[in-house]
């Protein structure tokens, strides 16, 4: 890529050239119609030649490296990422900024620009309002392939990045893809994407492209031999590579206005390896290769100078330096008279009770039990807000309580957990299954290891070599991409990351200045809490 300024100039000039082309075509067409009706021309009208394919930007590409920790997407070890980062903005304090810090909830936020309390993807499962039942688990592949998650998002009335771009650029294409993570692709499409594709095992056991109903691409992509693997790709790096190939097919076939890609493997393997660099580093080098392939593909497609790139993750990964036995939590719940409906896992613990009247008693018991590495116990009180039940002195500073409350406020709904245990840094829940398979990492909660994420934005609309300390959140990605692509954010919880933009709208600048200070206090508090309990060898 050339310098952003010259890229910007190219973009302006290209727009001008296309405007001219369109003008000429329109003029030419009407002239031919007139001449056909009125009188035959004395000189032959030149045959309208189809103009060379001009893929008119602006475009955007969002790459979500599932579960990549802030320290894992390291430009010093990732040359392709480094090149991109040098031409754009790096957010060093970016964080998930919501609970849960979980794939489907985070991708729904990326795809909508609203928080879980609005898009209502509140976790893998949640209480069906007014019942003693949990909702179907969103990790169920058969359910997800029906487009279940995007339907839920649409029912919530949330806006979507895809439909806002469709309004601004009628007829343009938005694509959302993953490897096996249907729930990432469907959530990120949020019901507005034209195409939602991913990998599935077919009746022969082959790993091939699948799509949600009504969102399948051309047969050429679905039946591509290059995308037909003899089985689920278990060789590390192969699934991310397959996903990138799928994305390339979409790129050349449709030249999408926006493409959103979930690369799933850092999560799948991170759960088993934690932060073990000997396992994770080769995988991250593979991710860098895929980033390089995509940059090259956008170049070949003639779209690179007009494309803004966003590279981020949906959440981090907390290593199992400390573990909490789910059985211990369940025992405390039972002894206090609680009937557990669902007790979750992650670097936090969500509790739903069948007997809500027991919530205050159970929350108090969980607090008094002083379970090692439980930093805080919160419960949803009668007013529908999460309140700290455990001793504030257990936290490093009063500002930590506010930071956790702000995070809990992003998922607060009638369906949300009755009680939430916030863990110390580097602590995860162990269930009997996790003990058996030797789980070494998890996420979902409020530890800084799960919350702190990488965020790089680069392209014609973005300042080069810019480092931002602004505490960007996942919810800001959609409004940022909308703004970069000339659309206006609509009723969204996030704000455009104006500080990185070459030509930010004034309203976006002032929104960011207003929003920043409290988020910065929250981020510092979480970092402080994590630093006091480093526990990483």
Binding site residues, Zn ion, CB under 5 A: 267
CB 67, min distance to Zn ion, A: 5
CA-based nearest residue to 106, from 451, 447, 385: 451
What the block records as the tokens of 79 is 């040359």
Output the CA torsion sign for 280, 285, 286, 291.
positive
C-alpha–C-alpha distance, residues 406 and 411, integer Å = 10
Of residues 124 and 194, the one with the C-beta less far from Zn ion: 124
From first CA to last CA, the distance across the chain in angstroms is 40
* Residue 105: CB minimum distance to Zn ion, A: 11
Q: How far is the CB of 137 from Zn ion (least distance, A)?
A: 14
Neighbours of 223 (CB within 10 A): 11
* 267 versus 424: smaller Cβ distance to Zn ion: 267
Q: How far is the CB of 69 from Zn ion (least distance, A)?
A: 12
Query: Quick one: 139 or 328, whose CB is closer to Zn ion?
Result: 139
For residue 474, the minimal CB distance to Zn ion (Å) is 15
User: Of 267 and 406, which has the nearer Cβ to Zn ion?
Assistant: 267
Nearest distance from C-beta of residue 274 to Zn ion, angstroms: 12
Please enumerate in sequence order all residues whose Cβ is within 8 A of that of 76, keeping only pairs 6 or more positions apart, or say none. Answer: 82
Cα 46 to Cα 28, 29, 35, 42, 449: the distances in Å are 9, 11, 13, 12, 65
As to burial, measured by CB atoms within 10 angstroms (0-12 exposed, 13-18 middle, 19+ buried), residue 387 is middle
The residue among 267 and 425 lying less far from Zn ion, judged by its C-beta, is 267
Q: Which residue has the tokens 């009997």?
A: 432
Are 68 and 453 in contact by the 8 Å Cβ rule? The answer is: yes
Q: Give dist(CA 221, CA 136) in Å, integer.
A: 31
Q: How far is the CB of 397 from Zn ion (least distance, A)?
A: 29
Q: In angstroms, give the least distance from the CB of 448 to Zn ion.
A: 17
Residue 28 or 438: the one with the smaller Cβ distance to Zn ion is 438
Query: CB 240 → Zn ion: shortest distance, Å?
Result: 15
Q: Which is nearer to Zn ion, 69 or 249 (CB)?
A: 69
Going by the DSSP 8-state scheme, the letter that residue 314 receives in this structure is S
Nearest to 318 by CA among 433, 419, 451, 422: 451
What is the spatial distance between Cα 369 and Cα 461, in angstroms, rounded to a whole number? 53
Which structure tokens are listed for 445?
Answer: 């909660």
Q: What are the start-end ranges of the H helices in 38-140?
A: 79-86, 103-112, 116-119
Q: Which is nearer to Zn ion, 61 or 184 (CB)?
A: 184
Could you please report the per-residue DSSP string of 231-277? S---STTHHHHHHHHHHHHHHHHH--SEEEEEE-HHHHHHHHHTT-H
Cβ closest to Zn ion, residue 243 vs residue 307: 243
Residue 314 C-beta: closest distance to Zn ion, Å: 9
Please give the backbone phi and psi of residue 207, each rounded to the nearest 5 degrees, phi first.
-95, 115
Strand-pair category, 318-319 with 195-201: unpaired
Residue whose CB is nearest to Zn ion in the complex, by number = 267
User: In the chain, what's the furthest Cα-to-Cα distance?
Assistant: 98
Whichever of 105 and 478 has its CB closer to Zn ion, that residue is 105
Report d(CA 443, CA 451) in Å as an integer: 8
For Zn ion, the closer CB: 93 or 318: 318
**Cβ 267 to Zn ion shortest distance, Å:** 4
């Amino acid at each position: 890529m050339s310098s952003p300024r010259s890229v910007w100039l190219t973009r302006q000039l290209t727009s001008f050239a296309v405007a001219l082309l369109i003008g000429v075509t329109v003029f030419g067409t009407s002239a031919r119609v007139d001449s056909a009706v009125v009188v035959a021309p004395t000189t032959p009208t030149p045959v309208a030649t189809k103009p060379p394919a001009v893929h008119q930007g602006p475009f955007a590409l969002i790459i979500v490296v599932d579960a990549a920790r802030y320290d894992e997407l390291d430009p010093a070890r990732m040359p392709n990422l480094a090149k991109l980062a040098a031409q754009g903005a790096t957010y060093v304090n970016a964080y998930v900024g919501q609970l849960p810090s979980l794939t489907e909830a985070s991708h729904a936020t990326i795809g909508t620009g609203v928080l879980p309390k609005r898009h209502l993807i509140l976790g893998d499962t949640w209480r069906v309002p007014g019942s003693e039942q949990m909702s179907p688990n969103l990790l169920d592949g058969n359910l997800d392939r029906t487009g279940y998650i995007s339907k839920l998002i649409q029912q919530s009335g949330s806006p979507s990045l895809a439909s806002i771009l469709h309004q601004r650029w009628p007829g343009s294409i938005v694509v959302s893809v993953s490897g096996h993570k249907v729930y990432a692709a469907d959530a990120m499409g949020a019901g507005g994407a034209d195409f939602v594709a991913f990998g599935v095992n077919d009746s022969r056991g082959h790993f091939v492209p699948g799509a949600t109903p009504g969102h399948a691409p051309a047969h050429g992509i679905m039946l591509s031999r290059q995308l037909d693997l003899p089985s689920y790709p278990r060789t590390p790096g192969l699934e991310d590579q397959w996903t990138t190939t799928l994305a390339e097919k979409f790129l050349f076939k449709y030249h999408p206005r926006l493409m959103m890609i979930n690369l799933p493997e850092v999560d799948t393997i991170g759960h088993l390896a934690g932060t073990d660099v000997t396992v994770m580093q080769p995988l991250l080098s593979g991710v860098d290769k895929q980033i390089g392939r995509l940059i090259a593909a956008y170049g070949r497609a003639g779209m690179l100078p007009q494309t803004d790139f966003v590279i981020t993750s949906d959440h981090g990964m907390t290593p199992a330096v400390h573990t909490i036995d789910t059985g211990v939590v369940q025992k405390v719940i039972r002894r206090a008279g609680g009937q557990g409906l669902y007790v979750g896992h992650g670097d936090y613990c969500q509790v739903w009770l069948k007997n809500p009247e027991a919530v205050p008693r159970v929350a108090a018991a969980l607090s008094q039990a002083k379970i090692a590495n439980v930093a805080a116990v919160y419960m949803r009180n009668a007013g529908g807000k999460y309140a700290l039940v455990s001793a504030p002195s257990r936290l490093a500073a009063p500002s930590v309580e506010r930071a956790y409350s702000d995070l809990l406020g992003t998922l607060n709904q009638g369906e949300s957990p009755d009680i939430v245990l916030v863990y110390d840094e580097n602590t995860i829940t162990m269930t009997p299954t996790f003990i058996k398979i030797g789980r070494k990492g998890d996420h979902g909660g409020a530890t800084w290891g799960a919350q702190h994420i990488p965020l790089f934005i680069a392209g014609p609309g973005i300042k080069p070599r810019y480092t931002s300390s602004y505490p960007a959140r996942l919810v800001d990605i959609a409004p940022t991409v909308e703004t970069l692509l000339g659309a206006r954010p609509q009723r969204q919880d996030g704000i455009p990351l104006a500080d990185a933009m070459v030509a930010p709208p004034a309203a976006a600048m002032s929104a960011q200045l207003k929003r920043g200070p409290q988020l910065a206090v929250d981020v510092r508090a979480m970092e402080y809490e994590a630093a006091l309990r480093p526990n990483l060898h």
